[in-house]
Amino acid sequence: MRHAQQDALERWLAAERDDRADEAEGALLELFEALPLVAPPAGFADRVLVRAGLQGAKRDLFAWRPLRIVLALCLVAAGFGVLWLPPVLLWLPRVLAGFASVSGAVRVGTRALIDASGWLASGLRVWDFLLTIDHALARPLAAPQVLAILLGCLLASSLAFRFLRDQITGERTWTYVDPI
């Protein structure tokens, strides 16, 4: 120890022997201030938590190669999208000018109604197809024999799951758990 630290140590010990609490506190504080600050290396806490199993190892999402490829393709698509910007900007004033007149507004409203009707017709065609599939699946299930077989399968799988769960939970004990 250096001389100043040795002097602070002696003052602290003497103050403790003589029951002078304020002087002892001051000398002890001086000793602690003289100690060098030691910090653990970077990432120490993360390594301890991973080793203890309390925190999974952090992975860099952007280091995953497929994600990098997808992001690059998105950037390329956005770059090609810029090529369509000038025609859209030239078309937009003409569309907005069409709203200025009554005939333009009627024309746009009529066009919107026709398009909405087309979308509705397409949706109804898809709905009709789904109903056809629904009827094809529902008719066999309405038969009592098929329904009884399905209920039997459900009962068998439920019992198998129950016995498997009991078997697995019965084998758990604290003797095979590693201490933390």
98 shares a domain with 33: no
Segment 21-55, tens digit of pLDDT: 888 898 888 888 888 878 888 888 878 877 877 76
Number of domains in the chain: 2
Among 8-17, 29-38, 50-59, 69-78, the range scoring the smallest mean pLDDT is 50-59
Which tokens sit at 95? 């569309």
Highest mean pLDDT among 33-37, 81-85, 106-110, 114-118: 114-118
162 shares a domain with 90: yes
Residue 89 lies in a domain: yes
Residue 35 lies in a domain: yes
How many Å separate Cα 100 from the centre of its chain? 48
Q: What residues make up the domain containing 16?
A: 3-52
162 shares a domain with 111: yes
42 shares a domain with 108: no
Residue 91 lies in a domain: yes
88 shares a domain with 45: no
Residue 114 lies in a domain: yes
Residue 176 lies in a domain: no
Segment 123-170, tens digit of pLDDT: 999 999 999 999 888 888 888 899 899 999 999 999 999 999 888 877
166 shares a domain with 88: yes
Which tokens sit at 33? 């201030």
Residue 141 lies in a domain: yes
The whole-chain average pLDDT of the chain stands at 84
Give the model's pLDDT for residue 99.
66
